[in-house]
Structure 1
Amino acid sequence: MGDGHSHNGEGRSTRKLAIVAGINLVGFVAELVGGLLFGSVALIGDALHMLFDAVAYVLALGAVYVGRRTEPGSRWSYGLNRLEPLAAFLNGVLLVPMVGYLVWESYQRYLQPVEIEPLQTAALAAGGLVLNIASVYVIQGGSMSLNERGAYYHLLGDTGASIAVIVSMLVVQFSGSKLADPITAVIIAVIIVWSAVELIRESGAIFLQRSPVSVEDVRQRLLEVGGVASVEDAHIWELSSSLRIATVHVRDHATTVAERDSLNERISTILASEYDADHVTVDLVSAGNDTERRREH
């Protein structure tokens, strides 16, 4: 099946990720400087979250760029589309050391609270919140690729973290309790863990070739097609979030080449239109003998 739509989608994905990466780098620098100046570990944590997000987006950009420009060949029969889930997996793994740092630093602040400038910190966090909302606006909408969903999860975490920092600084300002800062940092760490687990789960499912749809549903749907005697074998898996592959082995009642070609086309159309398969292979075998005919799309 044609894949021109995949390239257009990847182009939009690249532009979105580039814009969001730039926004996150600006937010990282501002919040890191502010966190160090004003003594807030929660703001430093939010800054680190933005930094790792930006690094993750750059990895995703590289994966999309290389994957799109590497044509299928004798050594890489599907190109380098696997780079997308690999980048997403690394994206999730890179969040782990940040969590460790935040928890450790929060524990140190709990044992020995430091002076904080709450109003200045809250103002910077509010600026970070605006940047996060702008990034969410850029990335959301329509069908998102795996890396776009990864970015979206990160941005939701960043948005929640910025709100938590603002609230904690108001608590410090009006109650005088400095414990709100490390407590908020731990909350941010929990948000980061949630983001990492979700991303690792999705990218891991692609690596382990989990079927994105119920194979039994596919079997039952194909059995409804006139001329299909039985579905001997069916597999659907993903090389990336934008490239889905389907192979089926079908016994048929076709008696002529024309009937078999028509059946092949109908099965291929169903797999492409109803199950979003980009590459379809159909093996047709007469129900009366073992003569096999293969068609690829």
Structure 2
Amino acid sequence: MAQYHSLKPWQHQHDFSNQNEQGERNTLYVLLLTISTMFAEIVAGTIYGSMALLGDGWHMGTHAAAFVITLFVYRYARKHKNNPKYAFGTGKVSVLGGFTSAIALGLVALIMAIESAVRLFSPEQIHFKEAILVAFVGLLVNIVSVFLLKDHHSHDHKHHHHENDHDHSHTEQHDHNLRAAYFHVMADALTSILAITALLLGSYLGLNWLDPIMGIVGALIISKWAWGLLSQTAPILLDKSIESSYQQKVVSCIEQLTDHQVADIHIWSISADHYAAEITIVSHNPFSTDYSHNILKPFERLAHLTIEVNKCTQIECLKSE
């Protein structure tokens, strides 16, 4: 692991990465399980000449690739968390991993939709027994994977209570990297459930057209998950600002001081759960920056705070009383 110079006592730390050891370990288990099943299905499909087995085997390969991305992101973020080349650490690496996997999930949904549409208008012979067996094996593997990747961070709420009422909201640890891997196994499990339903109805009732219809339904649901993950991660990668109500509370906290006004304020995402803030204050008789830092301590979502205090000599700077 790369070694970086340790920070001096008076320097700021910039490690805002989300360390999720249990999530990383369980993702590795899911990857090994997925790869084992993938090879077993490809070998069996080749020996028995089953396109259903072969197809599902290669399909599992796409999810295995997504889990590799997840593991790479965890290790890269941990390795470079104190690398000075990253201005605010590697807090956004997990978000980038989630964004990348969401795109992959969207592509899987698109391929599913196209293939299902083609089969709807040009039906192919379905080998029901083999296809049902494959679907059940896939479902079993994915049920185990879903439990392994169950979003541990969603249950890890940290509640903060202050006498000051500026920030009563609890903070929640978001791991978009693990969430993306979780959606991949959920997508596979959903595909298996829909396939089993369609195949059983097709086998016993002759409703063969249900197979491609279920494929299209699955593609739409997976697309919705992918879009949800994209809409969560993209704004963070683009330095999304904090909600305006929170920013206004920060401004009000400063401007309640006599003869102090906020001339400029920027609050933006530096990880899934952390924000940095740069605030410029003007006053005829300004307090020290240390005083400003202290009055803003209750705003715990501001993980990195830079304050500039300017002494004002213009009458326009006066706060109206």
Tell me the secondary structure at the aligned position of residue 263 of structure 2. Answer: strand
SS in 1 for 2:193: helix
Instruction: Render the CA deviation track for 1:25-83: whole Å, top value 9, x for unaligned.
Output: 34544566778855559x946962x4333212211221221122125455433344443
Taking structure 1 as the reference length, the TM-score comes to 0.76
Is the 8 Å Cα contact of residues 23 and 178 (structure 2) preserved in structure 1? yes
- Correspondence for 1:241 among 243, 247, 272: 272
C-alpha RMSD of matched pairs (Å): 3.5
- How many angstroms does 1:179 deviate by? 1.8
| Equivalent residue in structure 1 for 2:73, among 63, 69, 88 | 63
Q: Distance in 2 between the 1:110 and 1:256 partners?
A: 72
Distance 2:56 2:313 in 1: 67
Higher helix share: 1
Q: Residue deviations 1:240-260, cap 9 Å, x none?
A: 325432222334687665xx5
Counterpart residue type for residue 250 of structure 1: I
Query: Cα–Cα, structure 1 residues 133 and 266, in superposed 2: closer, same or farther, change >3 Å?
Result: farther
1:278 to 283, 303, 308: 303
List alignment gaps of at least 5 residues for structure 1: 291-297
How far did residue 167 of structure 1 move? 0.5
Per the alignment, residue 204 of structure 2 pairs with: 174
SS in structure 1 at match of 2:124: coil
The answer to whether the 8 A contact 1:31-1:125 is kept is no
Question: What 5-or-longer segments of structure 2 have no aligned partner?
Answer: 1-11, 156-172, 316-321
Instruction: Report Cα offsets for 1:151-170 as digits up to 9, x if no partner.
Output: 23333322322211111111
Aligned length: 280
**Separation (CA, whole Å) in 2 of partners of 1:285 and 1:135:** 56
- Which residue among 261, 264, 268 is the counterpart of 2:293? 264
Deviations 1:189-221 (A, max 9, x none): 22332232222222221222222x313422224
Q: Give me the whole-angstrom Cα distance separating, in 2, the residues matched to 1:236 and 1:286.
A: 23
Q: CA deviation at 1:171?
A: 0.7
Indicate the residue corresponding to 2:4 in structure 1. Answer: none
- For 1:27 and 1:185, locate their aligned partners in 2 and report how far apart those are by CA, in whole Å: 22
Match of 1:295 in 2: none
Following the alignment from structure 1 to structure 2, what is the Cα–Cα distance between the partners of residues 34 and 181?
A: 23
Q: Take 2:224 and 2:42, find their aligned partners in 1: how far apart are those partners?
A: 23
Q: Cα deviation per residue 1:131-158 (whole Å; 9 max; x = unaligned)?
A: 3233232222333411122223333322
Alignment partner of 2:19: what SS? helix
What TM-score do the two structures reach when normalised by structure 2?
Answer: 0.71
1:278 partner SS: strand
Change (3 A) 1:24 1:231: farther
Paired with 2:36 and 2:313, the residues of 1 have a C-alpha distance of 68
**Following superposition of structure 1 onto structure 2, how do residues 135-146 of structure 1 map, counting pairs within 5 Å?**
135-139=145-149, 140-141=151-152, 142=155, 143-146=173-176
SS in 2 for 1:270: coil
Residue 292 of structure 2 aligns with an amino acid whose one-letter code is L
